[in-house]
Structure 1
């Protein structure tokens, strides 16, 4: 099943996903969960790997902080490893939609998770 149809608001086949859908008074389609985990990322097509710290995650997006400068429109290959060994890492491509420089010189990056086709 394609990820877009799985997470679609109109698809009522998954009660877990349905429970994450939030009220109509918010523009977001899914609840954001605070997730504090170390992640690594690289610019698509590049070899250099950078580190960041996740802030929150939803069914369609991710927000993290990093000292590495990132720009809106960049595509990043992201790997986020949870603190529990039985949970597999999240490996995805992120389309950057917002970047804000913080007071301490880091960058807060928000992006939309892209569908990765299985190999």
Structure 2
């Protein structure tokens, strides 16, 4: 944890060596969580929770972000009053080379095949 943030505003994240493949796969198996990850990967930057237009309640959205954070797929940090979300691409690539890119490519192919376009 960084000393610059107030302790009460820090969120727990697994260390790189605590990230488990089965947790990552579980997190990515949900369509809404996969949508969040796809948007983060496309944007390439940190996005606030409110930047995502998800067809679920705020509490359900919070649950999905928590699953992604606790599995090690994303990192959430507070900046002012905003909670920003960033993909832990480097950690995932080091631990599971090619996994994230393969999942994202498959999700894109599926979206195009279903007519979503992305």
TM-score of the superposed pair, with normalisation by structure 1: 0.29
The structure with the greater share of residues assigned to strand is 1
- Pair member with larger Rg: 1
When normalised by structure 2's length, the TM-score is 0.29
Bigger relative contact order, structure 1 or 2 (CA pairs below 8 A, ≥6 apart): 2
Greater share of helix: 2
